[in-house]
Amino acid sequence: MAIKENPFTTTSMNKTIFRLSFSLCIFALLSSCMNVRPGGAKSGKKLYETFFVGDEGTQYFIKPLAFTNERNEELKLDFTFRYRNEIKDSAAINASFISNDLIRNIDSLKIMNNSVNIALKDMTYMFSERKKDAYNNRFSAKTDLLKVTKLFNGNDWQIWMYENGKQTRYAAAKKTEKSLAKLSQEVFVLFK
């Protein structure tokens, strides 16, 4: 006569717990792999926002792009413009100079690449605020949207700020250069 194994013995319960734990681990591993995105598939959506504005088309907001000068001070540029079927509007360019100095007046700001040279001579001072050990000096200006689209055709930007007879050069970091290329591919390619 064969002896039946008691299903509630310690050995049987350990096997059941082991199988259940093993199954849960495999499930967790497989589900976590499903959430991983490949590195090359990152979206540029973190770089801009769009808003539908009815008959005027779509409003685009290009989030701040960072540039630095030789003193490690930062310039952040953001862009706002509207587009519908053709390039005919202007674009607002906002500039934040993160500096050790309080800046309330600049003579001009030049943004250029191999395709275009944008000279912003009438920049409106918006405000200055203290953040930790630096000032955020904010300015705004308008320019032709066609020039902005040409600017985003390349990531070889050169930026010069002219203030009281001094000129300061700002350069793009590698991350900003990648952002400019991504914006060209995802936003400005639509305007050709």
The pLDDT of residue 155 = 84
Q: How many CB atoms lie within 10 A of CB 34?
A: 6
Q: Would you state the structure tokens that stand for residue 101, as one six-digit string?
A: 């100095």
The list of the chain residues with pLDDT below 70 reads 1-44, 192
Per DSSP, helices labelled H in the chain are: 10-34, 145-151, 174-186
The pLDDT of residue 34 = 41
The pLDDT of residue 30 = 47
The pLDDT of residue 32 = 46
The pLDDT of residue 12 = 64
How far apart are alpha carbons 134 and 126 in whole angstroms?
17
Nearest-10 Cα torsion for 157, 158, 159, 165: -170
The pLDDT of residue 1 = 56
pLDDT digits (tens, 9 = 90+) for 21-76: 655 545 554 444 444 333 333 456 799 999 999 988 899 999 999 999 999 999 99
What residue has token string 């914006």? 183
Strand segments (E) across 19-157:
48-52, 58-68, 74-83, 90-99, 108-112, 117-120, 124-131, 134-144
Q: Would you state the structure tokens that stand for residue 184, as one six-digit string?
A: 């060209």
The pLDDT of residue 56 = 87
How far apart are alpha carbons 77 and 64 in whole angstroms?
5
How far apart are alpha carbons 26 and 28 in whole angstroms?
5
The pLDDT of residue 21 = 60
Q: How many CB atoms lie within 10 A of CB 83?
A: 21
